[in-house]
């Protein structure tokens, strides 16, 4: 025990007393277990509304019974397109209790992106918001599947039924279409329709979509047990205290928020304060009003918090810890999180959806220089790991030969462990390429320090992260090259002081054409998810595109061209504390 409460070792011991030895459960069985223990405690706090564990469990039962009464069967795929509203948690649990497989959907998808994932995932039911920000999902469905309002064969893949939620009460529902409140009423009139326990812990619970090497999203199949082991490992590594309260605006469809927020809280009887939109002022108000002690963020959010003018007048005395991850952050930012926000336990992490989330983390008592310069070590996970150590075993291999690299040298990160994906949904070739003899080949490059910490040095593919979201350049390139006047397009990630990395597109015009960069950016905004939209567009002559003697484009040589056109200061601002004043 320290002066400020239980030590890190004591908090981990508390977790082990409750959950060791590990007992595999489904997601709904796990929540039944923790709700019995923490029934009266707050679980979801949104504004002034507080939902206890018992409240969420009862609503999840009604939703599950409603789904079963409507014909959802074990193994059916149910798409969930939902921002961080309080209905997300009970709906997610209800899908598991009904024996179905959840397909969390990115609510930034544009029409064609949404259509692709709905078809590819074989979703039979879709639960969707009517709208969010400038996204009109009902209009998207009108375009994709005319007549979607009727139940039964819609003529769009496997989709048979759509349920809607009008979260802000705008009256946007459609006549004849069931909404989420009606689903709950149907469930209340059909108690026991969903029996629970219809699928086992090692069976698939989720198909979570992530960008792939083909430029199309790939559905990562994860089991109930894999998710819960990974979540417990994070709670154990971070040594979350009893009753931990976390605030986040990271979307619940994303592994970061789902693992570190929605699920991690349940292992310690904690509460989550999910924010539908990121607003640094709202974060600060939530911390003060609800005595939040934990913040989940990507570096762009962390910058906004330390720079917000209300920070100095906000009571942040309850705030103890922060997990800031998913993108590179400059050293000055870590220092200001500690000095300006009073965070004592500051951690970062690395992982992939394919391995169930964050398998590498820094420790809450690591020196600041470790957190600022590495992504930590394979995380200790207590009861959830197979041998009581890290949740995943890592190797660093030469991408060309597949052989281990010498100590300290960079190579491709490959991992194996009990949280590794079951495979990509309906993509056997990609699954075989990524999973080899039980090892997951990440495509990420890194090197190991003598203490076992990992430093991410790049990616063997062309992927980059913008605001914590993974961007596949080929997807953007294909769109741009389909625009009038554009012959070719090449997209690279360049350093950005706010987003970590931003897309920089180079377009080669068709003969006689003069593409307008501003118009191309606007076209991207209208047709692509926001995080995929390039921040910079430049026109290049065909003879200016760097190529090998055999005609292959050398995209890495586009980065210095971007530096010259943008100005070198753009590339160093993210490392300078001057912008943080």
The total number of structural domains in the chain stands at 3
Do both 252 and 294 map to the same domain?
Answer: yes
Residue 79 is part of which domain span?
A: 27-36+51-200
Does the predicted model carry a pTM greater than 0.85? no
Assess whether 291 and 424 both reside in one domain.
yes
361 and 376 part of one domain: yes
Q: Is residue 247 part of a domain?
A: yes
Question: How far is CA 518 from each of CA 243, 534, 538, rounded to the nearest angstrom?
Answer: 49, 11, 10
Contacts of residue 214, defined as CB under 8 A and 6 or more positions apart, other chains included, come to 430, 474
pLDDT at 410: 85
Whether residue 500 lies inside any domain: the answer is yes
Is 2 inside any structural domain? no
Residue 280 counted as domain residue:
yes
Question: Is the same domain home to 232 and 272?
Answer: yes
Q: Are residues 427 and 470 in the same domain?
A: no
What is the C-alpha separation between 359 and 336, in angstroms, rounded? Answer: 26
Contact 205, 26 (CB under 8 A): yes
Q: Is the dihedral angle over the CA atoms 221, 227, 233, 239 positive or is it negative?
A: positive
> Is there a single domain that holds both residue 448 and residue 558?
no
Looking at the fold, whether 234 and 362 belong to one and the same domain comes out as yes
One domain for residues 373 and 494? no
Residue 2: per-residue pLDDT: 56
Domain of residue 554, CATH code: 3.30.300.30
Q: Is residue 214 included in any domain, yes or no?
A: no
Neighbours of 480 (CB within 10 A): 23
Residues 193 and 295 in one domain: no
Name which of 94, 52, 79, 124 is nearest 195 in CA terms. 94
Q: Beta partners for 101?
A: 77
Among 418, 433, 459, identify where a domain stops.
Answer: 459
Residues 281, 279: Cα–Cα separation, whole Å: 5
Domain final position from 392, 424, 459? 459
Asked if omega into 547 is within 30° of 0 (cis), the reply is no
Query: What's 246's domain CATH number?
Result: 3.40.50.12780
Same domain, 423 and 522: no
**Does residue 181 form part of some domain?**
yes
Q: How many CA atoms lie within 13 A of 123 on its CB side?
A: 30
Nearest to 300 by CA among 282, 325, 273: 325
Which of 349, 414, 416 lies closest to 385 in space, CA to CA?
A: 416
From first CA to last CA, the distance across the chain in angstroms is: 37
In a domain, 12, yes or no: no
Tokens coding 407: 């100590």
Residue 45 within a domain: no
568 in the Ramachandran plot: left (φ > 0), alpha (ψ -120 to 50) or beta? alpha
Q: Does residue 291 share a domain with residue 368?
A: yes
DSSP single-letter state for residue 403:
P
Q: Which residues does residue 501 pair with via DSSP β-bridges, in sequence order?
A: 495
Helix axes 280-290, 299-307, angle to 10 degrees: 70
Q: State how far the alpha carbon of 185 is from the alpha carbons of 171, 179, 189, in Å.
A: 19, 10, 6
Question: Mean pLDDT for each consecutive 10-residue tract of the chain (581 residues)?
Answer: 80 97 97 98 95 98 98 97 97 98 94 95 98 95 95 91 92 93 98 89 96 67 98 98 97 94 98 96 97 92 91 96 83 91 96 95 94 94 90 92 92 95 97 96 90 82 77 83 88 84 91 91 93 92 71 75 74 37 26
Does residue 495 share a domain with residue 453?
no
């Amino acid at each position: 025990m320290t002066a400020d409460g239980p030590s890190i070792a004591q908090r981990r011991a508390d977790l082990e007393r409750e959950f060791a030895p590990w007992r595999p459960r489904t997601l709904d069985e796990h929540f039944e277990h923790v709700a019995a223990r923490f029934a009266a405690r707050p679980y979801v706090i949104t504004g002034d509304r507080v939902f206890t564990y018992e409240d969420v469990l009862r609503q999840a039962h009604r939703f599950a019974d409603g789904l079963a009464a409507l014909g959802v069967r074990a193994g059916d795929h149910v798409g969930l397109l939902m921002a961080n509203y309080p209905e997300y948690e009970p709906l997610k649990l209800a899908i598991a209790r009904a024996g179905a497989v959840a397909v969390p959907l990115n609510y930034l998808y544009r029409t064609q992106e949404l259509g692709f994932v709905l078809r590819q995932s074989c979703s039979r039911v879709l639960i969707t918001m009517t709208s969010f920000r400038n996204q009109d999902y009902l209009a998207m469905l009108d375009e994709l599947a005319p007549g979607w309002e009727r139940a039964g064969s819609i003529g769009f893949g496997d989709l048979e039924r759509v349920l809607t939620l009008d979260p802000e009460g705008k009256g946007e529902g459609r006549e004849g279409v069931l909404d989420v409140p009606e689903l709950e009423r149907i469930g209340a009139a059909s108690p026991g329709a969903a029996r629970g326990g219809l699928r086992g812990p090692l069976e698939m619970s989720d198909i979570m979509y992530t960008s792939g090497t083909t430029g199309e999203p790939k559905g990562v199949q994860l089991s109930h047990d894999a998710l819960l082991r990974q979540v417990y490992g994070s709670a154990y590594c971070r040594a979350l205290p009893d009753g931990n309260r976390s605030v986040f605006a990271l979307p619940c469809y994303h592994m970061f928020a789902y693992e570190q927020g929605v699920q991690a809280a349940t292992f310690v009887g904690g509460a989550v304060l999910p924010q539908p939109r990121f607003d640094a002022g709202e974060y600060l108000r939530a911390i003060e009003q609800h005595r939040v002690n934990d913040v989940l963020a990507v570096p762009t959010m962390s910058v906004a918090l330390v720079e917000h003018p209300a920070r100095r007048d906000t009571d942040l005395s309850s705030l103890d810890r922060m997990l800031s991850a998913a993108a590179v952050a400059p050293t000055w930012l870590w220092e200001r999180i500690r000095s300006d926000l009073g965070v004592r336990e500051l951690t970062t992490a690395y992982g992939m959806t394919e391995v169930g989330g964050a398998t590498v983390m820094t420790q809450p008592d690591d020196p600041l220089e470790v957190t600022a310069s590495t992504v930590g070590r394979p995380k200790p996970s207590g009861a959830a790991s197979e041998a009581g150590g890290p949740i995943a075993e890592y190797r660093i291999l030469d991408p060309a030969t597949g052989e281990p690299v010498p100590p300290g040298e960079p190579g491709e990160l490959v991992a194996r462990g009990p949280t590794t994906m079951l495979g990509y949904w309906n993509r056997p070739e990609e699954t075989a390429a990524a999973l080899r003899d039980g090892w997951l080949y990440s495509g990420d490059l890194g090197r190991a320090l003598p203490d076992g910490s990992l430093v991410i040095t790049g990616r063997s593919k062309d992927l980059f992260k913008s605001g914590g979201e993974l961007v596949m350049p080929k997807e953007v390139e294909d769109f741009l090259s389909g625009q009038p006047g554009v012959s070719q397009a090449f997209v690279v990630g360049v350093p950005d002081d706010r987003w970590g990395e931003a897309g920089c597109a180079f377009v080669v015009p068709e003969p006689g054409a003069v593409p307008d960069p501003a118009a191309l950016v606007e076209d991207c905004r209208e047709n692509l998810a926001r995080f995929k939209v390039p921040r910079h567009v430049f026109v290049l002559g065909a003879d200016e595109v760097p190529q090998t003697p055999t005609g292959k484009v050398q995209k890495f040589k586009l980065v210095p061209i971007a530096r010259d056109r943008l100005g070198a200061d753009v590339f160093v601002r993210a490392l300078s504390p001057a912008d943080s004043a």
